[in-house]
A and B are shown apart, each in its own frame.
Chain A
Amino acid sequence: MIVFKYLLYIMLMVFMISCKKPYNPPAITAPGSYLVVEGVINAGSDSTVIKLSKTVNLSGAVTTNPVLQASVTVESDQNISFPLTEAYKGNYVSAGLNLDNTRKYRVSIKTSDGKTYLSDFEPVINTPPIDSLNFKVQNSSIQVYVSTHDPGNNIKYYRWDYQEAWQFHAQYQSQYITNGTAIVPRTAAQSIYYCYGRDSSSTILIGSSAKLMKDVIYQNPLTQIASTSEKLELEYGMQVNQYALTGAAYNFWVNLKKNTEQLGSIFDAQPSQINGNIRCVTNPSEPVIGYISISTVGHKTVFISNAQLPQSWKPAYPYTSELDSALYCHYRDCQNDVVDFLIPLGSTEIPVSAITKGPGTIGYLASTQYCTDCTIRGIKTPPAFWK
């Protein structure tokens, strides 16, 4: 009977979840490389960043192909233009534009190969503030939600992105450091125990109240964090940016999400063309990827400290290593492990604490860089939004 039960179980697994395996298609190369335009014209006092890149081959190792030395301007329907300057790697930046919200604006791009691209004129939309940013504890994760509403009941379409940061510590707290000639106590400024990890949203986060009586977005999920994530070890912070969208812009994002994130079910929609609002004036048949909207941006931050979460949740360290002892005089042959392994600059073994015998130090407990140096995967300064 147990076997029978097991058989049913296995069959159901097959039945319900089928089977998903990696798939490498035959080498496919695109007939060309197409311009990708990403960014929002910030109508308020914050800076505007437009990022230009080109598509790369699917099998290629390179993932980014920034477009350099282009000339990018924001233009109004009354021929007022605001130039953007190239800042870094295909990012074109302007300080706060403070646009007139009764006018329409577009982006004009002239690339170094002589092509001109124009986005459609779009209205300026005032983004309402975020009402709340909260989280719920679930079985073995937390879910972060955003809620907002438009008192005027006419925005209806929203997009969010976020930056997140979290404080974490290395496995072992190193109290000593080498100066190249000797092991000396580590100062507070030299501490590599506490760091901040940082990340930003990588999925398309959109919401619509078009089907509701009021323009209300209630608890739209943003991200889910597993209980074992290092993000929840000490303190987690998230800053969310909210952008109001037009219906057409919303459709672009829905379509992009469908085509690149929501595939793999039995009832997939067929991949379709991504129609943005940017066209190549020089060669109208050339596909251009991207949608430029104009809006103000709403911000809100939330902090979640470990104390707010269930006591039983423990983070899983990405690295684990034991503490080794390094002595000035090793028991057997009196080899000087401290000089050999810990003192050289750039050594991957880092002293953690001293081994003492009576009043003297006879060596150090040490561990790998991964388990002692938090800067390997974080930075020591908190992000700008950190409280």
Chain B
Amino acid sequence: MFFIQISRAQQSTAKLISVNFQQATITQFISELESKSSYHFYYDRVQFDSLKITLQVNDKPIETILDLAFKNTDFYYAISQQQIFLTKGRQIKTELATGFLEVAPSEKEVKQTSAVADYTDEKDKKVPEATTENKLYEIGIKTNSIKQGNAILTGYIRDIKSGEAVVGASIFIASSKAGVATDKFGYFTITLPRGRHTLIIRGLGMRDTRRQILLYSDGKLNIEMQEQINSLREVKISADKVANVRSVELGVTRLDIKNIKQIPTAFGEADVLKVVLTLPGVTSVGEATTGFNVRGGSADENLILLDGATIYNPAHFFGFFAAFNPDIVKDIELYKSSIPEKYGGRLSSVLEITNREGNKKIFTGSAGLGLLTSRFNIEGPIIKDKTSFIFGARTTYSDWLLNLLPQAYKNSSASFSDFNLDISHQINDKNNLYLSTYLSNDKFRLNSDTTYSYSNKSVILKWKHNFNSKLYSVISGGMDRYQYDVSSTANPVNGFDLAFHINQTNLKADFNYYLNSKHTINFGLSSILYQNSPGTFEPNGSRSLVLPQVIATEQALESALYLGDKYDVNTNLSISAGIRYNIYNYLGPQTVDQYAPNLPKEAGNVLDSTTYKKGQFININQAPDIRISARYLLNDNLSVKAGYNTLHQYIHLLSNSTSISPTDVYKLSDPNIKPEYGDQVSLGFFQNAKANTIEMSVEGYYKRLRNYLDYKSGAVLLLNQHIERDVINTDGKAYGVEFLVKKTAGKLNGWLSYTYSRTFLKQNDPNAGELINNGNYYPANYDKPHSFNFTGNYKFTHRYSISLDIAYSTGRPITLPIAKYEYAGSERVFYSDRNVYRIPDYFRSDFSINIEGNHRVHQKTHNSWTIGVYNLTGRQNAYSTFFTEQSGVISGYKLSIFATPIPFINYNIRF
């Protein structure tokens, strides 16, 4: 308490107050003090109901009055700026204990350390919940006079409560525009002129904080930040506010799970993939589809990474649910344009999903109950402050509910689950280990005797090593697997089991070298070994006559070397330039057909067939990818950015359905299937307004796609020994303009986006055998020119908030029948050129009310409710329209999913 007085005294702003109380209650006492000062008091009245205060003082600072009033009681007070917290039995610390800083800088006010210790009598109080904003930290080797020049400051930013890394927090000094952001480990490196500075630290969902430093030479400083959520002040999400304008990247969006949880979804559970669809430039072919399309790319052109592991099928139950547990996910980041050099292998985007680290201090957990799904997570320290784990599980219990359905659905069943287990361990100051594991399972049988199941499995181990203040590395290795299985025994003779799987083994080394204040260099290498089993078809049951059919497994090695430099030319101009050199080898054992050049790839045109031995390189594809982006600050709040990037993709999803279907398989590039190639140029203007609380941007792009795969009419994609004979290479172009306005603070926050975009494909390969739409450009399935989204959340109080979500887009293109005829006893239809018509426009609005339980800190559990309605207006949006014969007559139908308002309720509990 003395130390608070001292720090208050340092500010010497204390106003002197005179009071006279006779047996005053706490209410009288506080209203008197509030009227005579500018302080606000926060306390629980019930705890103070026995307190009666008799006190007379004249012209004393408030600290003295409080000291006298609570003398010999177990009531405590704490002052933080203009707020005073009154507590019973324990004291709120408004500053950070220096002892907690692992890299303890030398401190001027050494005595205060012991003063803090006096009050940390309880176990969990070892971690003071306070800031050290008012202390001066001396960093580096102390010298009598401060030398000229710059020094480098490095360190970690962590959450004070859980010890978890704060990603993307920005650190800057008020006097300069220079600023850096923490990486995914919460690590930062900043170059500053030697001398005294005030560091300003801002993080997404964290309370802004400051540190005063005196920088003598290179050194370290670890900073802890407080979470915003339980703050008693007005909730103010100060995301990396300046990043919009000042970062070099274009087309990058980061969303915190708190934003994601505000968005209503069909079944009430936060969905990290649905929220991606509200961002400009992202579309999907329809409701409840597995894939999403970014800037004209197809669904398999997105690299979906969960803590660095590739997830091939990111959805449960045909796309109704995202396969990620919202209680584990920390944030997501979507790269649409400026894709960092360290990523490659997909043409359109990278969606990075980051899980939380387990709480390093105490055991906590949460559980959520929905109508169809439930989830649970628990986390805590294994070794306090060093090792922690987080475990999450999610499952559906819709299976028993299917029994309520009419007779026709009796034979249906559906179930899914997913599990996450992540462990993070700090070996020492320089070394950290992170282990992430993921498993998802899906199984369903709908009105038939055919059972579908699929599964994702991933494990990844990352080792982060700090060589020195300028260089660190992250080395990771892992395995990812995606598999599916379809089996049936309905007809004993035809009983079958169809299986597919793809395995990838990754090895990656990423280095980050902080050369000086102008250059930050990234370099590294990565290698992925693919083992793809495109399909096995085997008998199921003793009477089955099914001929076992195995498509030869494929192997390939996709490697890359990359080097990138972020160069701050001056305070206004920054350039990020990089190159990624891809080397792709298709490996044996394999038998590859050679086709006559300039002739269609057909059985009759096979010149030769070569068999390769195990591990032999069949062909090598080498190609550089260029990644450039630049930012120029026009003024403090306005910048212009431009970028160009090229990408290669060596793995292809074979799918000729409109949306990804559960039986689609992957194919690796081989001598007959060229890698896909894409490049994109983009330009954008970024402006912040109202003290960085409103972010605005306009981005335009033009993109080219080469060797995108399309299929001949009647192509067989499954169990095809010679898939190259059924595919056609298609070229594409996409362009668009995206407008985004985002409000990040205040009672109302959210974003509004409008996108105009077009995507066209063209198939004019003379060797294809047939031309789609006579070789002219035609709109892709996901070409939706106009798209508008509004996502908003309004907080009435800290406990009640409402969310509204509105989405509108042009209907997607479809191929409609233009004529009919009679054939085989029925009317049948003749189709137009591909994608000439469109389904009706799409519109949907969702609404939800979020109710938080009370915010008292010391209760066993915190709970919250989400109640809402999905598709409020009940609009029957067309998923597809189709024409099919029914008793010999052709009729048109419109298929809608979620065609009525769908109410939902969700209960969450944290402990």
Whether B493 lies near A264 (C-beta < 8 A) is no
CA distance A21 to B900 in the complex (A): 13
The distance from the CB of B160 to the nearest CB of chain A, in whole angstroms, is 41
Apart from A19-B900, A30-B818, A260-B883, what are 16 other A-B pairs with CB-CB below 8 Å? Answer: A7-B371, A8-B371, A9-B404, A14-B898, A19-B896, A20-B894, A23-B878, A31-B818, A34-B821, A57-B820, A58-B820, A213-B547, A214-B545, A267-B657, A268-B880, A269-B657
Whether B819 lies near A271 (C-beta < 8 A) is no
Whether A266 lies near B818 (C-beta < 8 A) is no
Cross-chain pairs A/B with CB under 8 angstroms, 15 sampled: A8-B404, A12-B401, A18-B898, A19-B900, A20-B895, A28-B837, A29-B818, A65-B821, A201-B825, A203-B824, A260-B885, A267-B318, A268-B880, A270-B781, A289-B830
Chain A residue numbers with a CB within 8 Å of B818 are 28-31, 58
Chain A residue numbers with a CB within 8 Å of B895 are 18-20, 264, 266
Residue in chain A with minimal CB distance to B837: A25
Interface stretch, picked from A48-56, A104-112, A353-361, is: A48-56
Chain B residue numbers with a CB within 8 Å of A259 are 828-829, 831
Interface size class of B (residues with CB under 8 A): 35 or more
* Docked complex: A64-78 residues within 8 A CB-CB of B: 64-65
Residue in chain A with minimal CB distance to B898: A14
* Docked complex: B43-95 residues within 8 A CB-CB of A: none
Whether A202 lies near B831 (C-beta < 8 A) is no
Report if A235 contacts B (CB, 8 A): no
Whether B819 lies near A58 (C-beta < 8 A) is yes
CA distance A271 to B819 in the complex (A): 14
Residue in chain B with minimal CB distance to A32: B819
1/0 per residue A183-226: CB within 8 Å of B?
Answer: 00000000000000000111110000101111010110000000
Interface size class of A (residues with CB under 8 A): 35 or more
Report if A256 contacts B (CB, 8 A): yes
Whether A30 lies near B405 (C-beta < 8 A) is no
CA distance A261 to B891 in the complex (A): 11
1/0 per residue B808-832: CB within 8 Å of A?
Answer: 0000000111111111111111111
Whether A290 lies near B823 (C-beta < 8 A) is yes
Report if A273 contacts B (CB, 8 A): yes
Report if A22 contacts B (CB, 8 A): yes
Chain A residue numbers with a CB within 8 Å of B903 are 7
Q: Which 6 A-B pairs have the closest CB atoms?
A: A218-B493, A267-B661, A23-B894, A263-B882, A55-B819, A19-B899
Whether B659 lies near A266 (C-beta < 8 A) is yes
Residue in chain A with minimal CB distance to B545: A212
Report if A36 contacts B (CB, 8 A): yes
Chain A residue numbers with a CB within 8 Å of B597 are none
Residue in chain B with minimal CB distance to A291: B823
Chain B residue numbers with a CB within 8 Å of A54 are 821
CA distance A321 to B95 in the complex (A): 91
Residue in chain A with minimal CB distance to B771: A273
With known contacts A256-B823, A266-B288, A12–B893 Cβ distance under 8 A: no
Report if B38 contacts A (CB, 8 A): no
CA distance A241 to B826 in the complex (A): 17
Most B CB contacts (10 A, CB to CB) among A8, A23, A202, A214 go to: A23
Report if B876 contacts A (CB, 8 A): yes
Whether A264 lies near B405 (C-beta < 8 A) is no
Residue in chain B with minimal CB distance to A263: B882
Report if A102 contacts B (CB, 8 A): no
Whether B404 lies near A5 (C-beta < 8 A) is yes
With known contacts A266-B897, A270-B834, A63–B827 Cβ distance under 8 A: yes
Whether B493 lies near A219 (C-beta < 8 A) is yes
Whether A36 lies near B821 (C-beta < 8 A) is yes
With known contacts A13-B405, A28-B818, A274–B879 Cβ distance under 8 A: no
Whether B893 lies near A20 (C-beta < 8 A) is yes
Chain A residue numbers with a CB within 8 Å of B412 are 16
The distance from the CB of A11 to the nearest CB of chain B, in whole angstroms, is 6
1/0 per residue A339-360: CB within 8 Å of B?
Answer: 0000000000000000000000
Whether B658 lies near A38 (C-beta < 8 A) is no
Whether A273 lies near B770 (C-beta < 8 A) is yes
Whether A266 lies near B879 (C-beta < 8 A) is yes
With known contacts A22-B893, A202-B826, A289-B830, A261–B819 Cβ distance under 8 A: no
Chain A residue numbers with a CB within 8 Å of B816 are 25, 28
